[in-house]
Amino acid sequence: MAGPSGAGKSTLLLALAALDERACGTVRWGEDDVLAMSAARRAAFRRERVGLVFQDFLLFEELGAFANAALPGAWLGTAKRTATRRRARELLVRLGLDPDDPRPVERFSGGERQRVAVARALASDPAIVLADEPTASLDRAAADRLVAALVELVAGAGRTLVVVSHDPALAAAADRVVALADGRATDTDATGVDVTRRA
């Protein structure tokens, strides 16, 4: 999703993740209307099916890369927890980070921290990944590396990626871009055809 500041991009992303308590209407993932769920069921839905990448990382600063990336497994059963920890380790390596690095993430660069956040989002093998301005705090080189890695990891796993971003390079890597402005959404698919509708 693209569009000017204040157009509602991040709010829409929070509604898709069932994180905006004020959202109204319907948000359907398959047969599930997440806005109609109880708070506990929404949390379970996110744990089971959604990976989140936040603009401000939202990492536990005192923990290392692996502890942060493996965190989604903490609320799962033993078998799923073990699988999540294994994937977290593999993802950190694929993203160019050492899972055994003893440093807390507060000592990492912005690019390193965002790669830890991506590993955390993907560690539980979610069906969909929602990312809010994942390249906003990165320099161009770090942003390009993150875009390439994120797209490769999500596409390679056959997952869906929904991103809110002002970054043209990230938009260029998308199959479809939805631009929000003035209460309207313009949907541009890979063919270049625009379909405008009410947001």
Q: How many structural domains are present in the chain? A: 1
Residue 70 DSSP SS3? coil
190 has a pLDDT exceeding 70: no
The CATH number of whichever domain residue 139 belongs to comes to: 3.40.50.300
pLDDT of residue 193: 40
> Does the residue 61 lie in any domain?
yes
- Report how far residue 115's alpha carbon sits from residue 13's, in angstroms, rounded to the nearest whole number: 20
> Does the residue 147 lie in any domain?
yes
pLDDT (tens digit per residue) in 43-80 = 888 888 889 888 888 899 999 999 999 998 887 778 88
> Does the residue 69 lie in any domain?
yes
Which residue's structure tokens are 């999540």? 84
What is the widest separation between alpha-carbon atoms in the chain? 50
Take residue 198 and report the two structure tokens written for it.
């009410």
> Does the residue 2 lie in any domain?
no
pLDDT (tens digit per residue) in 96-143 = 999 999 999 999 998 899 999 999 999 999 989 999 888 887 888 888
Which residue's structure tokens are 């599930």? 32
> Does the residue 4 lie in any domain?
no
pLDDT of residue 155: 84
Domain region containing 17: 9-198
31 has a pLDDT exceeding 50: yes
Per-residue CA distances from 101 to 68, 74, 97, 120 (Å)? 12, 20, 8, 16
Which of 31-40, 73-82, 103-112, 189-198 has the highest average model confidence (pLDDT)?
103-112
> Does the residue 136 lie in any domain?
yes
> pTM for the full model?
0.82
138 or 192, which is more confident? Answer: 138
pLDDT of residue 8: 65
> Does the residue 102 lie in any domain?
yes
User: How many CA atoms within 13 Å lie on the side-chain side of 52?
Assistant: 21
Q: Contact, 118 vs 153, CB < 8 A?
A: yes
> Does the residue 56 lie in any domain?
yes
